[in-house]
Each structure stands twice: as structure tokens, then as C-alpha cells.
Chains A and B, each alone.
Chain A
Amino acid sequence: MGGLKFLKQMISVALPKGRLGESVYKLFAEIGYDCPEILENSRKLIFENKENCVRYFWAKPSDVAIYVERGAADIGVAGLDILLEQEPDVFELLDLGLGKCRMAVAGKKGALSSTGKTLRVATKFPNIARNYYSEQSREIEIIKLNGSIELAPIVRLSEVIVDIVETGKTLKENDLEVLEEICDVSARLIANKASFRFKTRQIEDICDKMRHYVSANVKG
């Protein structure tokens, strides 16, 4: 039973689709969990390497935590923005230091100065925005948008936005600026709470190797 877990079991990994996911896969490959199949352009959804006992699939970045929380993937990589927004019941094992950006309040210059009325906040992250402003006890109205958040203050849909800021270039070009910073965001290695217990050796192995690789590369 519990003690006979020396045989390697298949680990399934949910990767976030897109640029971040590709650099995350490279990280997995560097530490010995490669799966060449994944680099071929095909319509396949799942990629498996039986020798490494690893299986990858691409998921929409905001869905990765759901796959992991519900055990469809044992581990996955998700941005801190997604974790703060969805508060999934998972282990957050490692900060990968990839995909670094900031969660911030942005708007036109001086948008926060009129404190006498309800502040309208447009965002893809209503939970983060609500938590941030409830700490300040400010009356706000949240407007949930699904994209092009920067548009909202320009067309007076809202006074400010709460969104991810990478370089700040889009903001600048549209005459907007970062007004307050909420937190730093980066990609995190997450694990399902049951999988962590049943596949401890392998998940800890991945986590340790990644920790070494990440800290070595930050120094170098």
C-alpha cells in the first residue's frame, strides 16, 4: 500500500498556453522532463513521454488552476494573478521567477484624487480589486471586463483599472499611468493536494530540481 510507492507513476502537467507556457516547458526539459513531441506542430492535445513518466497538456492560462485543483493535472504552472483571483485549494510549491509583471491600479493622472464619490474600477480581476479596496475601506463599483481593459478609463467607463502591467508601454501610449502598485506577479508551480501525497517523490524531485535551476540562473 502506502509503502510500495517506489514505482514511478505518470505525472500530468497542465501548462499555460502561450509564451509563458513555452518557457515553462523549456524549464521542465532542462531538468530532465522533456517530451520532444510537444514541439512538433500538431493538433494533438496531450503529449506523453513514457520514459520520463510525464504527460503535458496545454490549457488556457486562467484554467490551469482549475485542472490542478480538481486533479485532472497533478501539477501545473499558473501566474500569481490567477491564484489570487481564483484562490484555488492547491499547494503553491515554488516561485519560478518567470513571466514577471505587476498587478497595479492605473488610470489618467490624478484619477484617484477625487475621493468624494464611488470609484469605478474596470478589471479582469474582480476578486483582487475587491480585496485591495476593502483593505482601504473605499466605496467602489467593480466593472468586470474580459479584455482591452485600458480602454475603460479613456471612454469614461471607469475612473481606474486594475490590471497586469508588464512594461507600461500600452498605458503610456494611451496617456495612462500606474497610480498604485498592488503586488508583483510571477509564474508559480502548483500541485494538487491529493497528488502531492500519492506522488510525493516525483513532485518533490521536480520541485527541487527546478528550485536549483531557477536559483542558479537568477545568480548567473
Chain B
Amino acid sequence: MQLSERGSTSLNIINSELRREERAIFVLRELYEQYGYKKYKMSKFEEYDLYLENKSFLPSQQVITFTDLNGKLMALKPDVTLSIAKNVPSSPKEPEKLYYNENVYRTPHGSNECREIMQVGLECLGDVDLYSQCEVIMLACKSLQKLSDDSLMVVSHMGFVSGLLESCCLPRALEEKILKCIGHKNSHEIVRLCGLAGVSSGMREALVALTTLYGTFEETLDKAEKLIKNEKMQNSLMQLRELSNVLSAEECSCMRLDFSVINDLTYYNGLIFQGFIDGVPTAILSGGRYDNLMEKLGKETQAIGFAVYIDQLEHCDVEDECFDTDVLLLYEPNADIAKLTAAVKMLTANGQRVRVQKTRSEKLRYKQLLKLGDGGLEILETND
């Protein structure tokens, strides 16, 4: 009896009083556990060497470092995936399915200050077959839907993009510039660069088509088919087709194919994706297939995963109509404290949040202002 009561109050708290980002953590944890992912709790620090060796895997280059008591150079974690990838056995017998909820420390794009960023994420390491891949993408879609009614998942394939670049046979520096242009959907600069480097008009048009392609899988897969130049692109497109065949129509309706989602080629090889929700100006979810990282770390295994940037939810609520407390209860210095205590008990038992103090408040937002007088509780003000 008591237990169930407590259960229902805590559920109420989840629905009403928690801030959106706090609620998200609970909801996502429940989702990932439902699919058998295990929580992975990690330390805040990691040896700096790990990041030094894999610098371009990190979204921002600055890392906060310090020397520990043994004189080792340590870092506040800028990223969780690297730590998880480092710690799996080099040829695991069974898959590792993990989720985490950690703070990471990094410098957001265009800023000079390091910030603590709350991140929830999921990694699947081992033999990543079609099922695992679809499961992770489906969980990414579901995560977005849990956060907002209006969400979009944008999917790309690094193999498809790098396949096309390889078939152009460009010098490395130019390839990087063109990859950057693809990321900015900047087709006019691609045309200019191709002109300077003497790239054939067929290749140039394929690059422009790749850059501007955007739409549902249904609309775009056939168009992408026409761009295929080699086996690598063929295989990549096949993976995208398999994905759209396995996922339900409902899941596919919120997915878009967009090759402007790119990531570092030395770490990511297959599917990569980003999630957006209405009201948040940047990607709130980001992930992909990173077999190349595993190989670089000397592991004979494949891996796919994603992270959700919970802190992005903080500014997306337009209406900030919450109250700090339901009742602000005032009392006189000579009030009967026993009566006051009884009144507070009564109010809290009704599920109301009560703040008790002697004076009115300029800062607190309250629904009701009550006063304990001689005749009991009087209502002075109501703000509902």
C-alpha cells in the first residue's frame, strides 16, 4: 500500500515537476533498458594520451588537463565513446550493449569556454549485423520521439560519400575541402574547386547532386542509385536500402537521406546520422558506425552508437511558466508554531509544495500566497 502510494507520487513528479532535461534522462534510460542495454558508469577522468592519439575523433579539440597525484597527465572526459571503445576486449565473444549518462567537458563550436555537457548515449560493440544496426537506428528514432512530437532523423553513409570522392581521384587537400563543402551543402564552391582542379564535368555533377540530395528514403534512394561509380558506393546504398526495408513505415516517415551529414573518415565508415527536434537549432542526437576507430585501437570488432545532448533541451521551452512553489505560507513572529506545522503538514499531504517564511517574496514565483492568522489560513493572493 505504502509502496504503491510512493510509486504514484514519484510518477507525478516525473510528469509535472521535473524539468524537461531531467525527465528526458529517465525516459531514455527506461527505453534503453527495455532493449537490454546495460548501464555503464564511468570515472570522470581519463589519461590524456587517449585523446592525444585520437584528437580528430573529438568534436572539439580543447581538452581540460591536470596532473594527478602520481604525476600522470589526466583529462576531464571530453567524450565517452572513446573510453568505452578502449575498454572492450580486443576480440569480444559476445556483443556489448551499453548505455551511459555522463557529463562531458568540451568547448562548443564558436566558443572559447569549456562547458559541462550532459550526455546520454548508447553503444553496441561486437558483430554489428543488420539487426543490430537497425535496432540502434530505431532506438535513436524512438529517443527523438520521446523528446519531442516533432522530430527528424537525418541519415547518411560515409562509404557512399568517400566512394564518390575516391572515384574522383583528387589530391588529399582538395578532397578535404570538397568534403567540407558537402557538409555545408555548398555546391557553388564545389563547382569552383572542380573547375580549378580540372575535374570532369560528369564527376562534378555527381558531387553537386550528392550535396543537394535531400528527402525521404522513398524519394531519394533511386536518385542516389544513379550516382554510383564503384562497388563501395554500391554496397553502401545496399545498406541504406536494407535499413529502409527493415524499419517500419512509421519509423521511415521521420527519416531523411542527407549526405551533408559527414564525419571524420578516419573513424567513421558506415551509416552516420543526426537527430533534430523542433525548437532546437542544432543536432540533439549524433551517431554512427565507427569500425575504423575500433581498428585504430587494435580491436577486432565492429561498433555503432549515438549520443543525445540533453543540455540542448534547456532553452527550447518557449513558455517558462513554472512556479517555484505552489504555496507561499506567511506567518507572524508570534504565531503558534504547532498550528503552523500542522498547516504545513496538511498542505503537503495534499501534494502541494509549500514554502514557509515570515516575509513576502519578490523573487519566488508562487501559485498562492497564504497567511496563518488567528482564524487559520487566509488566502491573500492567487496566481493560477
Chain A interfacial positions (CB closer than 8 Å to B): 1-3, 66, 69-72, 86-95, 192-198, 200
A193:B152 contact, CB within 8 angstroms: no
Beyond A70-B281, A198-B152, is A95–B188 a contact (Cβ under 8 Å)? yes
Excluding A92-B189, A198-B150, A200-B214, 19 further A-B contacts by CB distance (< 8 Å) are A2-B150, A2-B152, A2-B254, A70-B281, A86-B110, A91-B186, A92-B184, A92-B186, A94-B188, A95-B188, A192-B281, A193-B281, A193-B283, A194-B282, A195-B281, A196-B185, A197-B152, A197-B154, A198-B278
Inter-chain CA distance A1–B144, complex, in Å, is 12
- The residues of A that contact B374 with a CB separation of less than 8 Å are none
B185:A92 contact, CB within 8 angstroms: yes
Interface assignment of B97: CB less than 8 Å from any CB of chain A: no
B276:A194 contact, CB within 8 angstroms: yes
Instruction: Write the chain A residue with the least CB distance to B186.
Output: A92
Instruction: Write the chain B residue with the least CB distance to A66.
Output: B110
Most buried by A among B151, B254, B278: B278
Inter-chain CA distance A44–B123, complex, in Å, is 50
Interface assignment of B109: CB less than 8 Å from any CB of chain A: yes
Most buried by A among B184, B188, B189, B283: B184
Interface assignment of B56: CB less than 8 Å from any CB of chain A: no
- The residues of B that contact A193 with a CB separation of less than 8 Å are 276, 281-283
- The residues of B that contact A87 with a CB separation of less than 8 Å are 110
Inter-chain CA distance A70–B279, complex, in Å, is 11
Beyond A1-B150, A1-B151, A2-B254, is A69–B188 a contact (Cβ under 8 Å)? no
- The residues of A that contact B260 with a CB separation of less than 8 Å are 91
Inter-chain CA distance A139–B256, complex, in Å, is 46
A184 to chain B, nearest CB (A): 9
Give 15 pairs: A residue, B residue, CB < 8 Å, sorted on A.
Answer: A2-B151, A2-B152, A2-B253, A69-B110, A70-B281, A89-B109, A91-B184, A92-B188, A95-B188, A194-B280, A197-B152, A197-B276, A198-B150, A198-B152, A200-B214
Inter-chain CA distance A198–B188, complex, in Å, is 23
Instruction: Write the chain A residue with the least CB distance to B316.
Output: A71
Inter-chain CA distance A195–B281, complex, in Å, is 7
Instruction: Write the chain A residue with the least CB distance to B152.
Output: A197
Interface assignment of B149: CB less than 8 Å from any CB of chain A: yes
A197:B282 contact, CB within 8 angstroms: no
Inter-chain CA distance A2–B250, complex, in Å, is 10
Contact of A90 among B150, B152, B184 (CB under 8 A): B184
- The residues of A that contact B254 with a CB separation of less than 8 Å are 1-2
- The residues of A that contact B109 with a CB separation of less than 8 Å are 89
B110:A197 contact, CB within 8 angstroms: no
- The residues of B that contact A71 with a CB separation of less than 8 Å are 280-282
Beyond A1-B253, A198-B150, is A93–B185 a contact (Cβ under 8 Å)? yes
Instruction: Write the chain B residue with the least CB distance to A93.
Output: B185
Inter-chain CA distance A1–B282, complex, in Å, is 19
Inter-chain CA distance A196–B256, complex, in Å, is 12
Query: In B139-197, which residues have CB < 8 Å from any A CB?
Result: 149-152, 154, 184-186, 188-189
Instruction: Write the chain B residue with the least CB distance to A5.
Output: B150
Beyond A91-B184, A92-B184, A92-B185, is A194–B110 a contact (Cβ under 8 Å)? no
Inter-chain CA distance A111–B278, complex, in Å, is 53
Inter-chain CA distance A194–B279, complex, in Å, is 9
- The residues of B that contact A69 with a CB separation of less than 8 Å are 110, 281
B355 to chain A, nearest CB (A): 35
Query: In B251-292, which residues have CB < 8 Å from any A CB?
Result: 253-254, 256, 258, 260, 276, 278, 280-283
- The residues of B that contact A66 with a CB separation of less than 8 Å are 110
A128 to chain B, nearest CB (A): 15
B253:A3 contact, CB within 8 angstroms: yes
B163 to chain A, nearest CB (A): 23
B324-366 CB mask vs A (1 if < 8 Å, else 0) is 0000000000000000000000000000000000000000000
Instruction: Write the chain A residue with the least CB distance to B109.
Output: A89
- The residues of A that contact B258 with a CB separation of less than 8 Å are 197
Contact of A89 among B149, B186, B282 (CB under 8 A): B282
B110-151 CB mask vs A (1 if < 8 Å, else 0) is 100000000000000000000000000000000000000111
Most buried by B among A93, A192, A197: A197
- The residues of A that contact B189 with a CB separation of less than 8 Å are 92
Inter-chain CA distance A29–B260, complex, in Å, is 29
A79 to chain B, nearest CB (A): 14
B183 to chain A, nearest CB (A): 9
- The residues of B that contact A3 with a CB separation of less than 8 Å are 253
- The residues of A that contact B185 with a CB separation of less than 8 Å are 91-93, 196
Most buried by A among B149, B152, B214: B152
Instruction: Write the chain A residue with the least CB distance to B277.
Output: A194
B202 to chain A, nearest CB (A): 21
B170 to chain A, nearest CB (A): 18
B30 to chain A, nearest CB (A): 21
A194:B283 contact, CB within 8 angstroms: yes
B225-256 CB mask vs A (1 if < 8 Å, else 0) is 00000000000000000000000000001101
A1:B283 contact, CB within 8 angstroms: no
- The residues of A that contact B154 with a CB separation of less than 8 Å are 197
B77-118 CB mask vs A (1 if < 8 Å, else 0) is 000000000000000000000000000000001100000000
Instruction: Write the chain B residue with the least CB distance to A3.
Output: B253
